[in-house]
Amino acid sequence: MAYTQMLRIDRIGPDELDLLLARGFFRMHQGVFTCTFLSDEDGLHSVVWTRRPLQGAPLPASARRRLRRVQQRMRVVVQPCRLDAEREELYSRYFQHVGGNRSETLRGVLFGDEAVEAASARARARAEAGEQDARLDDMIDALLEEMAEDQRVADPRAPIPAASADEDDADEPSGPRPRALRLDLDEAVFDLPTAPTRARAARAAGRLPGDRFDSWEVTIRDGGRLVGYSIFDIGHDSMESIIGVYDPDYARFGLGAVTMLVEIEWGAAAGFQWHYAGYIVPGVQAFEYKRDVGYLQFWDTEAELWRPISALEPSDLAGPRIERALAVAGEALRAAGYPTERVLNSPYRVVQLNNGAHQFIGEPYLLRWGGAGGGLQRVITYDLYTHRYQVDLCLPSRDLSQVLPHAEVQGQACQTRLLHRLKRVGATADPHQLAALLEASLR
């Protein structure tokens, strides 16, 4: 199963962006990607891609009040995206304040690291020449920095403070609104343009050089001082929120979250249908602010449709399902006299980003039988697509422990070497047949 995918597309027009976002993809540099898991020091978490309807779904009253408080004190503008020293300087101070696995420059967020991109291009050229083994080794080096970006699609924005008791109310949808609808405060709040047709006309001559995306920004100024901004892309009917940046001196205002609220109001007034803000991670508080905008939907990867966030059951996500399946298999094998150890396979993202699952183990979790040395290993994995267990005979190869973020997790067995698949011993949907497959691998 492909748990991490990256697409590099020469041209991404408005309709293409709409389609990719609707299928759970999201911008990374000048391409798009999707992922199923997030790794951090606590282990592997399942991620949930989200979006929000814009028409007939006003912001909750508490969010509107929070937004208005900032608008009354500061100047908020929506305009085509700019890259300049002022924005880079604020990003640098923001980066020093929040840290984490992210690009060190704003240009890096939007365009990626030039050295990494060049190495990736060389590796793809070698792949086209048929040098498969060299390709994988090159791509491991080229993608190590890029992999950090799948930890964080949109930069974590300052969480919106918890609403007080009198702020818990939220307006109900008022039904579809006409595409040409304008808010009374459009000009004062957004400084024009607000309609998609005029926005694109104004953008035509101003796109950032080399940018495949139609990138816009929200800026917040206190007096003449830039204290916060966000960057978002527009398609035909959709918007994607890429990053929110704020001045650490203004952290108490939650400007990272406020810029997202501005995007939503602007998008609704401009006639867009959907606002995408990346993923949430159930159980990780840093992402919970995204739920506060109301009417959130999530991408059900198995059913391949968008569902209300209220229907989300964390136990049905990929991680818990794989863990349960392997727990059943481990119990069956233990009863048959084949004790195994569940292991986090840290290099799985490298394998999947390189489309190398035909050669290496690309599953995030595995059961290991026969020890963790450098010799032959027999591993059991579970495929959520086929609902089948797979038994492979593997040989550990390159160790990535020094370069993978969060390669080791305290209290959990981790596999940091790439596991080269020598032979597929067999596959079965019945965990009680796994002992026979392990026995067959000994012959």
pLDDT the model gives residue 331: 98
Q: What is the 3-state secondary structure (H, E, C) of the chain?
A: CCCEEEECCCCCCHHHHHHHHHCCCEEECCEEEEECEEEECCEEEECEEEEEECCCCCCCHHHHHHHHHHHHHCEEEEEECCCCHHHHHHHHHHHHHHCCCCCCCHHHHHHCCHHHHHHHHHHHHHHHCCCHHHHHHHHHHHHHHHHHHCCCCCCCCCCCCCCCHHHCCCCCCCCCCCCCCCCCCHHHHHCCCCCHHHHHHHHCCCCCCCCCCCEEEEEEEECCEEEEEEEEEECCCEEEEEEEEECHHHHHHCHHHHHHHHHHHHHHHHCCCEEECCEECCCCHHHHHHHHHCCCEEEECCCCEEEEHHHCCHHHCHHHHHHHHHHHHHHHHHHCCCCCEEEEECCHHHHHHCCCCCCECCCCEEEEECCCCCCCEEEEEEECCCCEEEEEEEEEEEECCCCCCCCCECCECEECEEEEEEEEEEEECCHHHHHHHHHHHCC
Range of the domain at 287: 4-101+151-313
Q: Is residue 138 part of a domain?
A: no
What is the block-wise mean pLDDT of the chain (443 residues), using blocks of 10 residues? 80 92 95 90 90 97 96 96 97 91 88 63 59 51 46 39 37 36 32 45 62 94 97 96 97 95 96 96 89 96 94 96 97 97 92 85 94 83 95 92 74 88 96 96 86
Rounded to the nearest 10 degrees, what angle do helices 61-73 and 255-270 cross at? 100
Query: Which of 278, 313, 348 lies at the terminal end of a domain, its last residue?
Result: 313
Q: Are residues 220 and 284 in the same domain?
A: yes
pLDDT the model gives residue 337: 96
Q: Are residues 88 and 197 in the same domain?
A: yes
Q: Is residue 408 part of a domain?
A: yes
Q: Are residues 288 and 224 in the same domain?
A: yes
Q: Are residues 275 and 309 in the same domain?
A: yes
Q: Are residues 307 and 381 in the same domain?
A: no
Q: Are residues 289 and 331 in the same domain?
A: no
| Beta carbons of 3 and 348 less than 8 angstroms apart | yes
pLDDT the model gives residue 405: 67
Would the CA dihedral through 190, 191, 193, 199 be positive or negative?
Answer: negative
Q: Is residue 285 part of a domain?
A: yes
Query: Which of 264, 279, 313 lies at the terminal end of a domain, its last residue?
Result: 313
| Beta carbons of 287 and 281 less than 8 angstroms apart | yes
Q: Is residue 129 part of a domain?
A: no
pLDDT the model gives residue 440: 92
Q: Are residues 304 and 326 in the same domain?
A: no
Kindly report the CATH number assigned to the domain that includes residue 184.
Answer: 3.40.630.30
**CA 100 to CA 26: how far, in whole Å?**
20
Q: Are residues 342 and 397 in the same domain?
A: yes
Q: Are residues 295 and 332 in the same domain?
A: no
Q: How is residue 421 written in tokens?
A: 């698949």
Q: Is residue 429 part of a domain?
A: yes
Give backbone dihedrals phi and psi of 44, rounded to 5 degrees, phi first. -105, 130
What global pTM score does this model have?
A: 0.81
Q: Is residue 140 part of a domain?
A: no
Q: Is residue 361 part of a domain?
A: yes
Q: Please state the domain count of the chain.
A: 2
Burial tier of 70 (Cβ tally within 10 Å: 0-12, 13-18, 19+): buried
Place of tokens 């929000």: 52
Q: Are residues 212 and 252 in the same domain?
A: yes
Q: Are residues 268 and 329 in the same domain?
A: no
Q: How far apart are the first and last CA of the chain?
A: 29
Q: Are residues 355 and 397 in the same domain?
A: yes
Rounded to the nearest 10 degrees, what angle do helices 318-335 and 434-441 cross at? 70
Q: Is residue 340 part of a domain?
A: yes
Q: How many residues does the chain have?
A: 443
pLDDT the model gives residue 167: 38
Query: Which of 313, 335, 366 lies at the terminal end of a domain, its last residue?
Result: 313
**CA 374 to CA 357: how far, in whole Å?**
20
